[in-house]
A and B are shown apart, each in its own frame.
Chain A
Amino acid sequence: MLGQTTSLEVRTLEGVTFSVPIASPFSRCLALAVDFAVVVALTLLISQFIGIFQSSVAEIPVIGSILSDFGAGATILLQFIVFTFYGMVTEWLWSGQTVGKRLFKLRVIDDRGLSLGVKQIVIRNLFRLLDILPSTFYLIGSISCLITKRCQRIGDIAAGTLVIREIEAKPPEFEEMLAPGENSFSTKPLLEARLRQNTSPEEARIALDAVARRNELSPDNRLHLFSQIANHFREVAEFPDEVTAGLSDEQYVRNVADTLFRRARV
């Protein structure tokens, strides 16, 4: 059901496991709306161009009406081609992305984490004709997205694809993130050693994650969270007042993370 699986877990031949976050139905809807707008804009553009062509040739004797009819026929064909091939061409050119997917940082991939094949691109886009039913309400595709573990529409199931969220992650700058300047805890190496000794990797990770994501928190939550974490680490290793005086809870946790991750030395 909805939200049952939020990431694709891939285990490589080398035994390395990594996960890729699966796009939510909501973000897919937004991307779809953008793509729909692009398709409509393209078809309108084509109609405009051909309309200009028709009006310019209409007065030509004998062949004017033939060319005009040719324009009308071309409009119908080109609109059909845009509707059918827009997704195929863009996903092929941009390795699984359309304009909407690029905007919302989504990408179509093979459901085993492999690169997307041309056959898969064509099949998933042909099945769109089924997914958009009834009419163009996308009801079948939506229901399929909601009831499948990996949020796949029928085209995705048939083509063996799924839509993932792209992460533009960068390794954090620890120089800036951890204790800026001198860590006051470093004056107490024995207590630092005790802190390292009594801290599990999970606890250390909580401290580091809190520091890394501090700017994503609301002010109240930030105060509350760092207060809880700082109190916990105060119990793990009690530093004297001379090194903690004037330290906010957040600064205390940054010192802890700095001690655990940066200053760990034999």
Chain B
Amino acid sequence: MEIANESTPALAVSCTFKRQSRLASTESVLHIPHVILDLDKFIAKERPFWEELAELLRVQSEDAGRTPPLSEARRFYYLYQRAAADLVKLKTFAGEAETARFLENIVAKAYSQLHSSGGESMPFRPLNWITKTFPCTFRQHWRAFALSIGTFAIGALFGAAALKINYDLKADFIPPQFAHLNEKPSKRVEREEKQDFDAFQGRHTFSSQLMTHNTKVTIMTMVSGFFWGIFTLILLFYNGTIIGIVMFDYLSDGEGIFLTAWLLPHGSFELPAIFIGGQAGLIIARAMFGWGTNLKLRQRLARIRGDLLTLITGAALLLIWAGIVESFLSQYHSDRFYPWKIGFGSIQLLALILYLSLSGRHRSTGTPAA
């Protein structure tokens, strides 16, 4: 235990505090070493205010969405300020750990209640979100989307080229869960077109599997952006490679119409959703690099948080629809229906392009709505 050599007279605490608080600023008071607060008296006087604040905090925490009346909010703010001032006094003049911990606890909770992290005061309006927020956010980051598609396309070209050079590589590239794609396309088409289609049997399960799998892939493509986008690009490239292999395989076997009728109805939503996941991942990557800004990492990430949420929600909605279409329409293989399926997929794709390109723009200027 270290013993102070100074021997400044220890004044009676409450008196000392009152006098010093009148005379000096907080900073100067902080440097007076030998003053001890009359803790018993201090706590007895202030305790009712602390307990009142603790009670208000308890009430608020039990109903997070509650909006307190103005009088209560004012009282809450007064009690917070009083508790904060008490904390300063206690740390400065007494340093008693137990009470300081209690006060720090309620001051921290009250501070958290009073100050939000911002940007969430606007109520969520679904129609506004669909017609403006999502498409505008998408367009705001179109470069990231273009890079996402570009990487996927390069992957697709790579897959097609690899298969052209060595067809035996197909089995190595196709993941186990898509093992049925290893079958020769013309054989599969012949088999599938002969099968009777049961519109419901097994479709719900298949649809659910597709939705959850694709949503996971899209979220993973986004969150992988945290590693400076490397894994996002790898995932996009890999998925592109698989699609490139499948497309080359079917086209080279003369099954282009089957392929289009099979993939377009759901792919027109599913692939853009994955590209949007990649777009979100690349936005994170840009924030990680911090190009063109002096902001700190936490500030850069905070700025993109809303956009990420918008994009991933939009992608998830697209995937839900894609899962339903893939289960109940895409798997129905009959040459009579190919034109209808291709037409449906084309209209869907066109509608999505128009929606993402135009929705939420001001007609007069063509700029995104505020």
Binding site for B on A (CB under 8 A): 10, 12, 14-16, 18-20, 65-66, 69-70, 72-77, 80, 92-95, 109-120, 122-123, 126-127, 129-130, 154, 157-160, 166-172, 174-175, 178, 196-206, 208-209, 212, 228-229, 232, 236, 260-262, 264-266
**How many whole Å from B185's CB to the nearest CB in chain A?**
28
CA distance A92 to B87 in the complex (A): 30
Q: Is the CB of A171 within 8 A of B47?
A: yes
CA distance A120 to B64 in the complex (A): 16
Secondary structure of the A side of the interface?
A: helix
Q: Is the CB of B208 within 8 A of A73?
A: yes
CA distance A65 to B203 in the complex (A): 11
CA distance A117 to B115 in the complex (A): 11
**How many whole Å from B292's CB to the nearest CB in chain A?**
20
Query: Does B279 touch A at the CB level, under 8 Å?
Result: no
**How many whole Å from B196's CB to the nearest CB in chain A?**
15
CA distance A264 to B215 in the complex (A): 67
List chain B residues, Cβ under 8 A from A232.
1, 3
Q: Is the CB of A129 within 8 A of B12?
A: no
Given A14-B84, A19-B104, A119-B306, A73–B115 Cβ distance below 8 Å?
no
**How many whole Å from B310's CB to the nearest CB in chain A?**
10
Given A77-B211, A197-B7, A197-B9, A169–B87 Cβ distance below 8 Å?
no
Q: Is the CB of B205 within 8 A of A69?
A: yes
CA distance A212 to B312 in the complex (A): 52
Q: Is the CB of B120 within 8 A of A76?
A: no
Query: Does B302 touch A at the CB level, under 8 Å?
Result: yes
Given A126-B312, A204-B36, A212–B117 Cβ distance below 8 Å?
no
CA distance A76 to B202 in the complex (A): 13
One of B173-181, B219-227, B236-244, B262-270 at the interface: B219-227
**How many whole Å from A206's CB to the nearest CB in chain B?**
7
List chain A residues, Cβ under 8 A from B305.
119-120, 123, 158-160
**10 A-B pairs closest in CB distance:** A73-B204, A169-B102, A76-B208, A266-B12, A73-B208, A200-B4, A16-B84, A80-B212, A130-B223, A262-B40
List chain B residues, Cβ under 8 A from A122.
309
Q: Is the CB of B112 within 8 A of A264?
A: no
**How many whole Å from B214's CB to the nearest CB in chain A?**
11
Given A20-B108, A93-B64, A113-B108, A77–B50 Cβ distance below 8 Å?
no
CA distance A87 to B320 in the complex (A): 21
**How many whole Å from B226's CB to the nearest CB in chain A?**
6
Pull 6 A–B residue pairs with CB atoms less than 8 Å apart, ordered by A: A18-B104, A18-B107, A73-B208, A75-B208, A115-B112, A201-B34
Q: Is the CB of B108 within 8 A of A10?
A: yes
